[in-house]
Amino acid sequence: MNGTFVLGFFFIVVGIPVIFGIAADMYKRHLKFKERQLTAITHEAAERAAQYAAQTQRLEERVRVLERIVTDKGIDVADEIERLRDAPLN
C-alpha cells in the first residue's frame, strides 16, 4: 500500500499540475491562432470595404455625368428615349 500512496501522491503533486500546464499552454496557442485569424479576416473585410467604396465613387461619378447630360439636353434625350421605347425590337 505504501507504493500506491507514493504513486498517487506523485501524480497529485506533479502529474496534475503538468497536465494543467500543458493544457493551459495549448489553450493560449489556440487563442493566439484565433486572434491572428480574426486579424486576417478583419484586414480582408477592410480591403473589400475599400474596394466597394471606390466602386461606389466611380458609379456616383458616372451618375453625375448622366445627370449633366440629361439636364443639358433634357428634352432631346427624353424624346429619344421615347422613340427608342416605341421602336420595335429586332
Taking only the tens place, the pLDDT of each residue in 1-40 is 576 777 778 778 888 888 999 999 999 999 999 999 999 9
pLDDT for res 34:
97
Domain edges within the chain: 2-86
End-to-end Cα distance, the chain:
101
Q: Can you read off the three cell numbers belonging to residue 5?
A: 500512496
How far does Cα 10 stand from its chain's mean position? Answer: 50
What's this model's pTM, rounded to 2 decimal places? 0.51
